Amino acid sequence: MTSSTNVSRFHEARRVAIFGGTHGNEMSGVTLVNLWIQNGKEIQRKGVETKPFITNPRAVEKCTRYVDTDLNRAFTTENLSAPSGDDLPYEVQRAQQINETFGPKGSPEAYDVIFDLHNTTSNMGCTLILESSKDHFNLQMMHYIKVNLESVYSLSLCRFLNKNMIYLKVLNVFISGLEVGPQPQGVLRSNIFESMSEDDVVCCLYCVGLEFPPCTVDVFRVSEKMDYPRDTNGNIIAMVHPNLQDCDWEPLNPGDPMFQTFDGTTIRYEGAGTVYPTFINEAAYYEKQQAFVTTRRETLAAVFPMTQLKKNIDN
Amino acid sequence: MTSSTNVSRFHEARRVAIFGGTHGNEMSGVTLVNLWIQNGKEIQRKGVETKPFITNPRAVEKCTRYVDTDLNRAFTTENLSAPSGDDLPYEVQRAQQINETFGPKGSPEAYDVIFDLHNTTSNMGCTLILESSKDHFNLQMMHYIKVNLESVYSLSLCRFLNKNMIYLKVLNVFISGLEVGPQPQGVLRSNIFESMSEDDVVCCLYCVGLEFPPCTVDVFRVSEKMDYPRDTNGNIIAMVHPNLQDCDWEPLNPGDPMFQTFDGTTIRYEGAGTVYPTFINEAAYYEKQQAFVTTRRETLAAVFPMTQLKKNIDN
């Protein structure tokens, strides 16, 4: 990777992986990656080795999110350094295998970029998820994709959401987590398929060799995880309020309706200021005690000086 | 049950069961029935014993459609007469237990009515599903509910869809299968919850004691099961066409787009005449090789003469 006068270039990305089926019931990524495994012409770029890969084949076969544990939370240092064996949960075994194949981070044989394709039942549109506001190269690339693609609705920073959420943390330098919804689990909708295939992944590959000038980037930074209201036994006693349902990325102000109890009582948002909820009523997050996350809008300056670049490469 | 001059009355329904969780990830019925188990005031009617019941508790716990096999296809005569035991698939054991508790059909201790609450990922609105066009009492009751409730979009006759689909076949005389959607599996949406709770089930209970005059009823009769286009290995090669997606109950004419292959080719409907597709792109039907079912519109005369009534009761 080179940089001159704060211009970032993506031409050192020689090996790019595209992951589908990290959650086996998120059908757009599963379908696209399977199609590309059969015929990779659409994702081939000169000078780039592109590898489409089904990360959780058993979950895909069962059309379920995971078999033993959530693969997208399994890339912990502890899991990756555990003695391997069949007695480990299936997804921990997979995490170790994926780490060996596409990592380990910092090794010469590690892949340069991973695109990880996800669907959500939330009405989030097309969202690129980054982990770090300090990764200026990634920010510039995401900004480039967003301004060139009307379908990309939002950039979200999830670094504070879950420290083990993103592969990047352990595996690689550059990653784009892509969430597209709404789409029910186990369903393939043509509109979601189109926006994921034509616009995003393939466009990311076109970034290879492009120069990204310094820019400012509007992002939603994840702030707080909001659980459903519960009784003393832990049972959910309210639903996402109809005024909030499907309103991902729209402002939620103090006093706005947030939940509705089963007997019709409105529970209002009591935070200190305006937030922008997302992952609203995502099916997979009921078990994670999460009704939605709040985010706050932020504008970041993405300038990629050589020193930062060098540091990123070295790390 | 009595009838005079072709008027049907519902006042002999002394024992009514309300089933939720027949599919453990269809959350409206699961939630409603659990609420009614805690507090049944809303569904209590004078002279009627109303029993809310979770039919597949293990599937509910796992938030999955089923554990071993689809409970809603398990009520076969063969299953119900099989020697009971722990080696049977879980849902076959449940079918036997449910048959003992709420049936068996024709026995004095059998329940009179079962309401079975379902959700679908399809954009079907609120659909009451009947098995038989010959069950005039049920038709009249459903007609009463439909004309009194704007939210009930359609009545569907499924008797030709799957001979083991409906409990009625084995268990009871009167049943209403209720499908409400769209709602992703594992998600509870307030709008779907409201339409299922306020409008339908409770309204059905209000029918007890009402008189239903003879009437004509517009129904959609299930005609044909349509699979996704597949390659020679059985892999799906096309999605529901965007023109058809979410258009449940709308006319599909010969020549109209039906599927779209992954490379963008349109596959058109080539049937002989207009049909009305439904269960379009339902998540649970991928494994059943079903992209949607076609239905045809029909108007039935629902007259409930004493002889028919008597026959229904005796059978």
Residue A193 belongs to domain with CATH number: 3.40.630.10
The first and second tokens of residue B6, run together, are: 């072709």
pLDDT tier for residue B143 given thresholds of 50, 70 and 90: confident
- Touching check for A31 and chain B: CB below 8 Å? yes
- Set B12, B179, B224, B282: catalytic member: B179
Q: How many residues does chain A have?
A: 315
Residues B171 and B271 in one domain: no
Edge to edge, what strands does the sheet with A7-9 contain?
A3-4, A7-9, A211-212
Mean pLDDT computed over every residue of chain A: 81
Residues A163 and A271 in one domain: no
The 3 state secondary structure assigned to B220-268 is EEEEEEECCCECCCCCECEEECCCCCCCCCCCECCCCEEEEECCCCEEE
Contact predicate B16/B51, CB 8 Å? yes
Residues B200 and B122 in one domain: yes
Q: Is A150 known to be catalytic?
A: no
Contacts of A21 (CB under 8 A, 6+ apart): A29, A30, A33, A54, A55, A56, A57, A59, A60
A121 Cα to chain B: minimum distance (Å): 7
Residues A166 and A254 in one domain: no
B156 assigned to some structural domain = yes
Residues A152 and A173 in one domain: yes
Residues A228 and A154 in one domain: no
B2 assigned to some structural domain = no
Contacts of A87 (CB under 8 A, 6+ apart): none
Contacts of B150 (CB under 8 A, 6+ apart): none
The 3 state secondary structure assigned to B56-81 is CHHHHHHCCCCCCCCHHHCCCHHHHH
A16 assigned to some structural domain = yes
Residue A154 above 90 pLDDT? no
A38 assigned to some structural domain = yes
pTM of the model: 0.86
Residues B191 and B284 in one domain: no
Mean pLDDT of B83-110: 89
Contact predicate A236/A290, CB 8 Å? no
- Touching check for B63 and chain A: CB below 8 Å? yes
What are A153's strand-pairing partners?
none
Interchain proximity A191–B242, CB inside 8 Å? yes
Mean pLDDT of B197-211: 62
B86 Cα to chain A: minimum distance (Å): 24
Contact predicate B32/B196, CB 8 Å? yes
- The pLDDT score that the predictor gives to residue A201 is 64
Q: Of the candidates A190, A240, A283, which has its C-beta nearest B240's C-beta?
A: A190
Residues B131 and B17 in one domain: yes
B3 assigned to some structural domain = no
Question: How remote is the C-alpha of A289 from its chain's centroid?
Answer: 19
Q: pLDDT tens, A81-102?
A: 999 999 999 999 999 999 999 8
- The pLDDT score that the predictor gives to residue B249 is 92
Here the CATH number for the domain that contains residue A231 is: 2.20.25.160
Between residues A254 and B77, which one has the greater pLDDT? A254
Q: Say how many domains are in chain B.
A: 2
- The pLDDT score that the predictor gives to residue A140 is 74
Residues B18 and B138 in one domain: yes
Residues B144 and B279 in one domain: no
B55 assigned to some structural domain = yes
Contacts of A207 (CB under 8 A, 6+ apart): A10, A141, A144, A145
ipTM confidence: 0.85
A167 assigned to some structural domain = yes
B278 assigned to some structural domain = yes
Residues A95 and A236 in one domain: no
Residues A228 and A85 in one domain: no
A23 is annotated as contributing to ligand binding: yes
Count Cβ–Cβ pairs < 8 Å, chain A vs chain B.
78
Residue B182 above 90 pLDDT? yes
Residue A68 above 90 pLDDT? yes
Domain carrying residue B195: 8-219+299-314
**Highest-confidence segment of A8-12, A48-52, A192-196, B61-65:** B61-65
d(CA B31, CA A213): 52
